[in-house]
Amino acid sequence: MTLKYTKDHEWVRVEGATVVVGISDYAQTQLGDVVYVEVPEVGRKLEQGKEAAVVESVKAASEVYAPISGEVTAVNTDLAGEPGRVNADPLGEGWFFKMTVAKPKELDALMDEAQYKTYVEGLG
Amino acid sequence: MRYLPLTTADRQAMLAAIGVSSIDALFADVPEAARLDGFVDLPRAQGELEVERALGAMAAKNLVAGAVPSFIGAGVYRHHVPASVDHLIQRGEFLTSYTPYQPEVAQGTLQMLFEFQTQIALLTGMEVANASMYDGASACAEAVMMANRVTQRKKAILSGGLHPHYREATRTHARFVGFQAKLAEPDPEAREDLASEIDGATSCVVVQSPGVFGQVRDYSALAEACHKAGALLIVVVNEAVSLGAVRSPGAMGADIVAGEGQSLGNALNFGGPHLGLFATRERYVRQMPGRLVGETLDAEGRRGWVLTLSTREQHIRREKATSNICTNSGLCALAASIHLALLGEAGFTRLAALNHAKAVALADRLAAVPGVSLVNDTFFNEFTLRLPKPAAGVVERLARKKILAGVPASRLYPGKPALKNLLLVAATETTTETDMAAFATALAQVLA
Amino acid sequence: MTDWSQAVSQFRSDAKTTATVSGNRGLQIEEPLLFEQNAPGRTGVDLPEPPAVRSRLGGITREGPIGLPGLAEPQVVRHYTRLSQKNYAIDTGLYPLGSCTMKHNPRLNERLARLAGFADVHPLQPISTVQGALELMDTLAHWLKTLTGMPAVALSPGAGAHGELCGIMCIRAALEARGEKRTRVLVPESAHGTNPATAAACGFAVDSIPATEAGRVDLAALRAKLGPDVAALMLTNPNTCGLFEREIREIADAVHGVGAFFYCDGANFNAIVGRVRPADLGIDAMHINLHKTFSTPHGGGGPGSGPVVLAESLAAFAPIPWVVHGAKGLELVERAQGSARGSIGRLKGNHGQMGMFVRALAFMMSHGSDGLRQVAEDAVLNANYLLARLKDELTPAFPGTCMHEVLFDDHFLKDTGVSTLDFAKAMIDEGYHPMTMYFPLVVHGALLMEPTESESRGSLDAFIAVVRALAKRAKSGDAESFHAAPRFAPRRRLDETLAARKPVLRWQPPRSDRQAAD
């Protein structure tokens, strides 16, 4: 199961006709302890690069952008009571939402794991 | 100069340590055309005695409210503040401390604010309160902006019983922040029916309890009408002592309470600094502006307090902040909290009852003056009289007799000639029999 | 491992040596909440029994108890005295907080603010009975205008951020009066958070201007971002890195060149008061934090006061009320009509933070024009002294001298395992409030120090000695002692994550009490 990444540190995992979206391990380390997550409503139409969710730690609040365009099909309601999952398991139980793929070309253009790793190292 | 510890010898030694020959070298980045060679054209330094004389002379030109019969309210009320309050707030550790961003060395401020938040939540009947705002009028504007965020709508309806300063402040924000504020006509007889004006574009209805003309109304039905339409009810309280007798906004179904806390612990101060109060339902807490103090544990497992949910605020969210607010009214909140601590349940409810009793006695007395009628069916400690001639002139003449006879409606509503014979009159626990008699007698004379 | 959990594990080894029976530690008392000291019916205020009257409340009365606790006066006095002893304050020590200007709060100012003729006067008394109050406001306005060289001032804003709001609203009103609609406001990356928050609140898109290597606004980048759609530039000068913007007149010219306005954040006025008039730098509006440069007390978070000086081009839009000289004395313009018809209206109730006006004017008159100039000089001298004596142990963020505050980055802590946060917590154990941390954002792990003119050389030397020793200790590899700090404050490190995840924002009666009540 391969992950794709955006420059804004979101990851995308393909699950059939939909994808799962979350934030990367690098992002959660930068944020610190996550205290609150605001996820979009099911059915909302997202545009690539536009704000999709908000993640808050004690010291910072960050936008989570839609990695691709599509419609939200499911959201991780567990994050309301346990925002710490984003820190503990950012690539697994810390997922934010699932969405459809409106434009497959957008998905192809994202970074793969190796490219993202290089990108993060370059950030210093 | 008494506030400047550095001596000439210090300055010379420090310049040497820095490695420059004169202080001017440290101002080298200032463009030459902007450098002032001499002193700005203002008086030179003065000792305490001279400054005291100069400002004392200015103070002496004012008529002190406590020295004469005084009946002015309209959002700022003269109550007796117990002696302990002013002593305690002048302790240097309260007076000269900074915002509690380093909680380990600010537990005094943080515990105090946590207690204040609890007291305000209890008084207003709401679930959560913040650590105060600048004043009631700006708190009102912030409440409307919060309702807009929560409902994602942009149309606010402002009652004719809402204090005009609050309406105007909200309208200024409406113009520049980008929402609509519909101002209902001033409503001295409490006849307005705002429920019929609510529609699917309404974000909130803002009412005041008691109203600016003094009326006490039950807003429960209005709350229901708001909620049915998906709008919020904002109740403004600008006489905090009324909460000791009048049904709380929370009990009436309010979603947000914005108000003025000056009545508790704070002097008139010619209008500032005062104390903005803000409270709401728990489910809206992340949309609430202003500072919030929360309880937590330290590394030893001891209970302590910290500023929390800060990511709403300007220093973190920057352009996406819920508000640009940076300060609260800390020391004024402390004064209010100490006053409430001294009063307690028994004292606060008695204080409210006393205020009402005084106002009832005064209203009956003044309504008996020929030509004067009482407009209100209901009131707490402030009511409206209809005079046979313009109230502004009457107030001026009574001022010359050293009686501060209340606020003419024309002062608050200069563009509304229909209100010019109305006079807003307040009484508090400080109002005496002698004061009331003097007022009634003088009023009769001036109206004769 | 988070900073907080490291602190917890350190405690476990400290535990045995620090426990007392009461939990108190000498003069530090564990003071319960007011609500935990309740005795029903008890009170600390004696009020007469209200006479029985026919109620006029219309039956809309409070039902049920409020829940306020009852204490007697001695208990209340003790409660707040004990709380005060848990606070650091200017009266107890130096606050090296950048951009906060934590200077001495003179007690003369407290005495004068409490004169009955200022404190016991109602804002809505007839104007003829408050001429002295208006005279004080007018005199303060004169001092502010003269010190800044600006022709007008709006006194009513309640604090600095409120002043920024006022300034940006006036700018928008001026543009609308010209028939222009501009959509962008430019703000340097290093700006205080209130700047972009204010601009965004007024409907502007915020565009960021980068800084140069020398820590100042990149003029070329600014020029590139300027255009006819820019309403204003919001700039702090000296900037939040403690540096004077050398090219400020060129910046002003560039901004005016596209018909935009120059808003100056006056938070750092303490560096230049009496030596430079902001009007001569080309500004159009500037808020002044009376609680910074002019010593009004911070009071644990407020109240503040933020009057805004305005250029001729913005004066007509100032919020009401205005104090004006009339035929029969001083008058208050409370209506946006006639000469005030361009006013943006009211921003808050009544006339402004009068109590802070009295204090600020007393401060100004005490110093005079000569003393105020000395204030700026001593403030700048003190900050440069810190820089000179610390620059070999800490890493200054920018080369050269500074103004009234000095900025370091966390480079000197590299590879020590000690963060800026840890360093700050160790300072608490040494008896100091930490300096401003992590601001401005343009520098990594920022430490921003502003000593103010109120500190003696001895006070600075003591502070320098501690900072140097801590820096040396960090570099020597003793990270653990930093992680465990603070140990000696009334509380150890507090769990801010817990506070934000499970917010407890008020006291609630214990479950058993609540169940009994139901």
More confident position, C194 or C54: C54
Domain ranges of chain C: 108-364
Domain boundary among B283, B315, B338: B338
Q: Do the Cβ atoms of C2 and A84 come within 8 Å?
A: no
Decide if A59 touches B, using CB distance below 8 A: yes
Strands B256-260 and C230-236: unpaired
pLDDT in tens, C246-269: 999 999 999 999 999 999 999 999
Contact yes or no for C254/C411 (Cβ under 8 A): no
Specify the number of domains making up chain A.
1
Contact assignment for C358 to B17 by CB distance below 8 Å: no
Q: What percent of chain C has pLDDT over 70?
A: 95
Q: Is the pLDDT of residue A114 over 50?
A: yes
Is A30 a domain residue? yes
CA distance A52 to C297: 43
Kindly state whether residue A120 falls inside one of the protein's structural domains: no
Check if C431 contacts B (Cβ < 8 Å).
Answer: no
Which of A28, A35, A85 to probe the C interface (max C CBs under 10 A)? A35
3-state secondary structure of C262: strand
For the domain with range C108-364, which CATH number is right: 3.40.50.2300, 1.20.1540.10, 3.40.50.620, 3.40.640.10?
3.40.640.10
Confirm or reject contact between C163 and chain B (CB < 8 A): no
* Of residues B215, B118, B121, B106, the one with CA closest to residue B159: B215
Task: Quote the pLDDT of residue C192.
Answer: 81
CB contacts of B305 in chain C (<8 Å) are: 494
CB contact under 8 Å between B14 and C194, yes or no, is no
Distance CA B227, CA A106 (A): 43
| pLDDT surpassing 80 at residue B323 | no
Euclidean distance between CA atoms B72 and B79, whole angstroms = 11
In this predicted model, what pLDDT tens digit does every residue of C472-494 receive, in sequence order? 999 999 999 999 999 999 999 99
Tens-place pLDDT, residues C358-369: 999 999 999 999
pTM, two decimal places: 0.95
How many other C-beta atoms lie within 10 A of the C-beta of residue B300? 19
Residue A22, min C-alpha distance to chain C (Å): 20
The domain total for chain B is 2
Shortest alpha-carbon distance between residue C86 and chain A (Å): 24
Q: Determine, yes or no, domain membership for A35.
A: yes
Give a yes or no: residue A83 inside a domain: yes
Nearest CA in chain A to C5: A33
At B331, list the tokens: 């020391």
Q: What is the mean pLDDT of residues C232-248?
A: 96
Sheet holding B407-408, edge to edge: B373-374, B382-386, B422-426, B407-408
- Together in a domain, B331 and B359: no
Contact A35 C497 (CB under 8 A): yes
Q: What integer is the mean pLDDT of B155-163? A: 98
Across the interface, which of B44, B64, B115 has its CB nearest the CB of C34? B115
How many Cα atoms sit within 13 Å of B252 on the Cβ side? 33
Task: Give the pLDDT band of residue C1 (cuts 50, 70, 90).
Answer: very low
**CATH number assigned to the domain comprising residue B433:** 3.90.1150.10
Helices (H), strands (E): how many in chain A? 5, 9
Within a domain: residue B21?
no
Q: Burial-class residue C41 by CB neighbours within 10 Å (0-12, 13-18, 19+).
A: exposed
The answer to the question of residue A119 being in a domain is no
Range of the domain at A37: 3-103
What does the block give as tokens for C56?
Answer: 């006029």
- For residue C100, which of C358, C451, C410 has the smallest C-alpha distance? C451
Q: Both B350 and B330 in a single domain?
A: no
Note the pLDDT of residue B318. Answer: 57
Phi/psi for B117 (5° steps) reads: -55, -40
Residue of B151, B145, B148 lying closest to B133 (CA atoms): B145
Residues C88, B102: contact at Cβ < 8 Å? Answer: yes
Q: Is residue A121 part of a domain?
A: no
Q: Does C125 touch chain A (CB under 8 A)?
A: no
Q: Are residues B248 and B330 in the same domain?
A: yes
Question: What are the helix (H) ranges across B368-414?
Answer: 391-400, 409-412
Give the domain extent around B363. 69-79+345-447
Q: Does the beta carbon of C5 lie under 8 angstroms from any beta carbon of chain A?
A: no
The per-residue pLDDT for A60 is 77
Which of A33, A56, A59 is best to mutate for the B interface (most B CBs within 10 A)?
A56
Which residues on chain C are in Cβ contact (under 8 Å) with B285?
A: 503, 505
**What CATH number does residue B167 fall under?**
3.40.640.10
Is residue A113 a part of any domain in this protein? no
C-alpha span between B448 and B443 (Å, rounded): 8
Residue B236 — very low, low, confident or very high, per pLDDT cuts 50/70/90?
Answer: very high
B374 and B387 fall within a common domain: yes
Mutate to test the interface with A, among B101, B284, B311 (most CBs of A within 10 A): B311
Residue B11 inside a domain? The answer is no
β-strand C184-188 against C230-236: which pairing, if any?
parallel
Chain A residues in contact with C500 (beta carbon < 8 A):
35-36, 56, 58
- Residues B362 and B291 occupy one common structural domain: no
pLDDT at B217 over 70: yes
Widest Cα–Cα separation across chain C = 78
Residue C518 predicted with pLDDT over 50: no
Pair (B299, B261) in one structural domain: yes
Distance CA B280, CA B250 (A): 9
**Residues of chain B with C-beta less than 8 angstroms from the C-beta of A36:** 286, 311
Chain A positions in Cβ-Cβ contact with residue B311 (cut-off 8 Å): 35-36, 56-61
Coil vs helix vs strand at B30 = coil
Residue B319 and residue B362 in one domain: no
Q: Is residue A112 part of a domain?
A: no
Residues B17 and C401: their CA atoms lie apart, in Å, by: 12
Domain contains B242: yes
Read off the tokens for C501. Answer: 């995840």
Q: Do B286 and A57 touch (CB under 8 A)?
A: no
User: Domain check: are B198 and B160 in the same one?
Assistant: yes
Give the count of beta carbons closer than 10 Å to the beta carbon of residue B74. Answer: 26
Tell whether B242 and B177 lie within a shared domain. yes
Residue C88 and residue B106 in contact, taking contact as beta carbons nearer than 8 Å: yes
- Contact criterion met (CB < 8 Å) for B316 and A36: no
Q: Is the dihedral of CA B210, B214, B215, B216 positive or negative?
A: positive
Q: Is a pLDDT exceeding 90 seen at residue B242? A: yes
B333 with B308, same domain: the answer is: yes
Q: CATH number of the domain that A14 lies in?
A: 2.40.50.100
Q: Is C464's Cβ below 8 Å from some Cβ in B?
A: no
Taking only residues 209 to 238 of chain C, the set having a beta carbon closer than 8 angstroms to any beta carbon of chain B reads: none
Residue-wise pLDDT for C63-80, tens only, equals 999 999 999 999 999 999
